[in-house]
Amino acid sequence: MSNPFDDSFQGDNGPTVGPPNPFDADDALASSSDVVSTNDLDEDEYAAVESTWKYLKDLPYRQIPIYSNVLWELDPEDEDWFAYGLERYPSSALNPSWPRSERMTLLRKTTTTKVSGCPYGGPLASITTPVMSTPTFAKTQITIWTNAGKVLTRIPFPPQSHANYSPSLITTIGFTSRAQLVVVLQDSLCLTYNLRGEPILAPFFILQQPSQGKAISVTQAVVFAGGVAVLAQNQSCALVELLDEHDNLSYSASAPLSARKVTFDTNQHTDVTSSADGIFALVTPLETAEFSRAHGLSYLTLAVLPRHCTSHGHPEVFISTICHSVVVVEARDGSMTDLDCRARMVAPLTHMAFAPNGRFLACFTTSGVLTVVSTDFDVMVLDFDASHSRETSSSSSQPPLDMQWCGEDSVVLHFKNLGVLMVGPYGDWLRFPYNDTSDQVYLVPEADGCRVVTESRVEMLQRVPPATALILRMGSIEPAAILLDAADAFYSKSTVTVLNSDEMVQGMVEQGTLNAAITSCFEAATNEFDIFTQKRLLRAASFGMHISDKKQVNEERMIVGGSTTISEAEQDGEDCENQDPYSLPSRVTRRFVESSRKLRVLNALRHPLVGVVMTFPQWQSIGAIGVVARLVAMNRPELATSICDYLALPKSIQLFARASKASSFVEQKAQADEHLSDSEIAQGAIMIITKEVVSSAVSPGASASMFRGAYATVALAANKVNKPGVANLLLMLESSVADKVPALIAGGSYADAIAVATTARDADFIFSTLMDFERNCMIAASPTDLSQAQSAFLSTVVGKFTLEAFHTLRRYLRSTSDIQRVLNLLLRGQKFSWAGREMAQKALVEVDVREKQGMLAEASRIFGISKETAFQKSCTDDYLDLRKDQEVLRNKYGSVDVAPESSSVTATISSIVKFAASNIREQHRLLADADKVAKKFRVAEKRLWHIKVIAFAASEQWSNLRILADSRAKPPIGYKPFARAVIDGNQNSSEILRYTERISDLEERYDMLCYGQLWSNALDEAFKMKDTRRILNVKNLCNSADIQIKADQLMGRLA
């Protein structure tokens, strides 16, 4: 496989530079930068490496200069700032006639520079703030640098949304493990940015501020791997965890009830980057103030144990008190425990820091004692009195400016005018002098060391890796050290030394330690920064492999060669029996090649134009994919793409890197004055994504599905630099709906986004597009024209969006309490029938009488807009008239029972008739009013008679029933309903026969007599019809022997 780092790589913000290659003969690194890397330094070929080490008892440590002569880049156009190292001051605050030394002395007394480093060798962030707010220092900027002094981005402070804030209010800045920059202000306002300086979340207050009175002031804020924790003057405390959609959903769901979730709000903050989708802050207030009052405690400082270091998977906050104790607060449930460590701590704690593995806690007391204890305070590891140590008594009486861990074995403390003091696990110490009068010193802890950043250089304090120490220690007799000496002797070209090297290696072959020595050599090479040492160790490993492979050829017929790709089975440790033994490289060979590739990548990352100080253990921690993601976040997509190709990372990761590279290409072409057309820019981006030359016409390709999401990513970047034409051309090739719709929304193509979501039948995307479009309309309108913006929104939905979008919005608006919004949408779409129905349905459930009347009137008006809804209008008007008549009747007779509120004319007439039973004196008038209601609402005559019959029977008005039956010679409904009514009313047989005898139809008369169980009369009617089946039916139904005898007689007569 070709190595992109052997020839050259194009720096994203610099000239083409040949990266370091451990196999090149020349150690020099071509660079146009003034920054000098350790990779640039010439070394004496046989210099003793151990001479540069320092020992803490038996543990060797080394001070590795990574970059020297760092200039910390200053924008030539920015003439308003005076720069010195990482410090930046407004020129207006200085008298240019003063000597530089006097200006520096004044500024360092009146300002403070805060510096924080991103974990895993990442960028640095710095900001200079005044000690007190002054008009001449009302603005500043947060600068994010590479470790080599190149500016990644500048973030102006204060932000536009909080322009009234002074730089002096900044409490702390820091990076999380996910490369998120957190800035905390004195009133607990929290700002979050990515490595490009784009806001991740809208600014939010960590502590709930009072609505009136003085704001709660923060005394300390600590940024840890997962977020930030703050401690306030009123002893309250809160924890913020920055999470995203990749975190377990159950984690945030299990948060305490007092926790709140903060997301970005583009309604209020349009400057929040769209890349922040899925990121949110989980803010958990801790009841430390109540605990303080209950136990009479006062807090001094805090430290946070990340959740990956706790047994329950939630962070723990350790807070020191003035009473020499430590309070541990669990974020999981808010429980607090006072660890009584007064016997171990002789004075209150001013500094606390957890080891990278979370097993130990370093504590510095007010009496100048450094104590290291286990996290549960059961085991004391170290008790070091810095105030009485040799060479430190003059300076260490004051608390350290900073205290951090150097890996997992030592603690480093920075004292003013003393430099950096390293304390080992056995109480031994080392002093690394730094001139604080001319150099500002900043410590950046790492999992396997500590970065030291000054005004002109970047160094690494690190324990020498055990494998390296065993090999490079003078006089070492380890097999790897012997192999290294043998290789040095062999390559010295001396006949005597060559013979000696052969003898040494042959001894290792006989003892069977050669392969282990080879492995130790190339593993030690990966831990080195110096290219000469890397080459020396790799050369020794290569030398040993030649001899090892030669022996394998003679004894096992195994030779080096063939593909170096490791199959999945080999990665799992399985034997590959089916492989050709004559072409399969040995496992040691494959590991050697892999390590060499990773080492080349690490050297490229350490190049001054990239400036990532990453060690091999750090690489192992985040992996190649994590490195690629960080390079993309740093706007180094070209190097990320080269690494993906070189290491043959998964296709999805390669596509992600190429899409980032294409986005950078589009941004550069948009900013450059090259007068390229949108088609040409889009064509260049497509070539980067597909890695092949395509035709000049931008058209969908057959392999578009292979690049799902990539075109949308580049389209987002094109919209960001005001290239909508390029974005549209790229989105024509996008096949992923999940990526295409957000890209169309970002470009303002809402109608196209709706069309794509509708075609995909994705209701969620339809709804999200509608909400984004409405939000955009509201933001674009002035506060006085919100109604006009809403009108424009509805017009677009009706006129340009799909019918599915219209119905989705209608269903959503129906679920809200504002009926007017639903009506506006339906009326805009000329859905008059639906609009009137919505209003009428809302009126039916309305309790207030006046409101209901008004809603019904409005429904009638809406129905009257269109001729097609004339029937609905008529029904609504009738209902309004019925309600009025019901009210008149209730007032007339002074009772609600006469006409209860109802939408039914039938129910109203029935209630009037029934009420006549209880009001005998007004009976005639009531029956007359019932007839009036029936006549007004055009109730059919038969229907009216049925209503009266049922009502008379239900209210037992049998006399009125008789009067009704006698009022006509032939009632319009016949006499059958009358007969049924009296039968159901349990009236006597004479009353039943009054109506059944008047039924003209014999069959109906027979049925009613049977229904009333008048069996004798029923037999007579059956006999008249000469129907033996009906006679037999009566005989079977009745239980009377006389009736049964009569039935037999009638059947005999008919026979």
Mean pLDDT, to the nearest integer, of 673-684?
87
pLDDT in tens, 801-830: 999 999 999 999 998 888 888 998 998 999
pTM equals 0.78
The terminus-to-terminus CA distance of the chain in angstroms comes to 114
pLDDT in tens, 407-459: 999 999 998 878 899 999 888 899 988 875 566 899 999 999 999 999 889 99
> Cα 316–319–322 angle (5° rounding)?
165
Pick from 432, 403, 405: nearest CA to 63: 432
CB 14 within 8 A of CB 33: yes
Dihedral class, residue 36 (left if φ above 0, else alpha if ψ from -120 to 50, else beta): beta
Counting Cβ atoms within 10 Å, is residue 761 exposed (0-12), middle (13-18) or buried (19+)? exposed
Rounded distance between C-alpha atoms, residue 173 and residue 189, angstroms: 12
Look up residue 371 and give its two tokens.
Answer: 């104590």
How do beta strands 280-286 and 260-262 pair? antiparallel
The pair phi, psi for residue 903, each rounded to 5°, is -95, 10
pLDDT band at 496 (very low <50, low <70, confident <90, very high): low
Mean pLDDT, to the nearest integer, of 1014-1024?
88
* Element housing 1023 (H / E): helix 1015-1024
CB 498 within 8 A of CB 490: yes
pLDDT band at 698 (very low <50, low <70, confident <90, very high): very low
Residue with tokens 């050709």: 580
* Element housing 1005 (H / E): helix 1002-1011
Give the best-scoring range by mean pLDDT among 80-94, 199-213, 553-567.
199-213
Which of these ranges, 185-194, 486-495, 865-874, has the smallest mean pLDDT? Answer: 486-495
The pLDDT value given to residue 449: 94
Residue with tokens 């349009």: 270
pLDDT band at 658 (very low <50, low <70, confident <90, very high): very high
Residue type, 218: V
The pLDDT value given to residue 571: 46
The pLDDT value given to residue 694: 43
pLDDT in tens, 600-631: 999 999 999 999 999 999 999 999 999 999 99
The pair phi, psi for residue 913, each rounded to 5°, is -65, -40
Residue type, 299: Y
pLDDT band at 761 (very low <50, low <70, confident <90, very high): very high
Q: What residues does 183 pair with on adjacent strands?
A: 173, 191
pLDDT band at 584 (very low <50, low <70, confident <90, very high): low
CB 172 within 8 A of CB 636: no
pLDDT at residue 794 greater than cutoff 60: yes
Rounded distance between C-alpha atoms, residue 583 and residue 112, angstroms: 63
Residue 488's contacts (CB-CB under 8 Å, 6 or more residues apart) are 46, 536, 540
Look up residue 563 and give its two tokens.
Answer: 């593909």
Counting Cβ atoms within 10 Å, is residue 495 exposed (0-12), middle (13-18) or buried (19+)? exposed
The pLDDT value given to residue 547: 79
Give how far Cα 1004 sits from Cα of 822, 866, 944, 1022, 1039, Å. Answer: 55, 49, 22, 11, 23
CB 242 within 8 A of CB 180: yes
Handedness of CA 609, 614, 620, 621 (dihedral sign): negative
Per the model's pLDDT, the better-predicted residue between 396 and 897 turns out to be: 897
The pLDDT value given to residue 3: 37
Look up residue 789 and give its two tokens.
Answer: 């913006």
Rounded distance between C-alpha atoms, residue 115 and residue 404, angstroms: 14
CB 140 within 8 A of CB 87: no
Mean pLDDT, to the nearest integer, of 175-192?
95
Residue 401's contacts (CB-CB under 8 Å, 6 or more residues apart) are 414, 415, 416, 441
pLDDT at residue 40 greater than cutoff 60: no
Rounded distance between C-alpha atoms, residue 129 and residue 139, angstroms: 9
Rounded distance between C-alpha atoms, residue 905 and residue 897, angstroms: 15
* 92 secondary structure, DSSP code: G
Average pLDDT value over all residues in the chain: 84
pLDDT band at 78 (very low <50, low <70, confident <90, very high): low
Look up residue 642 and give its two tokens.
Answer: 């080269």
Rounded distance between C-alpha atoms, residue 449 and residue 621, angstroms: 14
pLDDT band at 8 (very low <50, low <70, confident <90, very high): very low
The pair phi, psi for residue 702, each rounded to 5°, is -70, -25
Angle between helices 479-491 and 514-526 (to 10 degrees): 80
* Rg of the chain, C-alpha, whole Å: 45
How do beta strands 124-130 and 140-145 pair? antiparallel
Look up residue 5 and give its two tokens.
Answer: 């780092």
Per the model's pLDDT, the better-predicted residue between 343 and 859 turns out to be: 859
The pLDDT value given to residue 564: 47
pLDDT at residue 919 greater than cutoff 60: yes
The pLDDT value given to residue 217: 92
Listed by start position, the domains of the chain span: 71-157, 974-1055
H helices of 800-954, in order, are 803-814, 819-828, 832-844, 849-863, 870-893, 905-915, 923-936, 941-954
Which of these ranges, 150-164, 426-440, 1034-1048, has the smallest mean pLDDT? Answer: 426-440
The pLDDT value given to residue 499: 62
Rounded distance between C-alpha atoms, residue 56 and residue 350, angstroms: 25
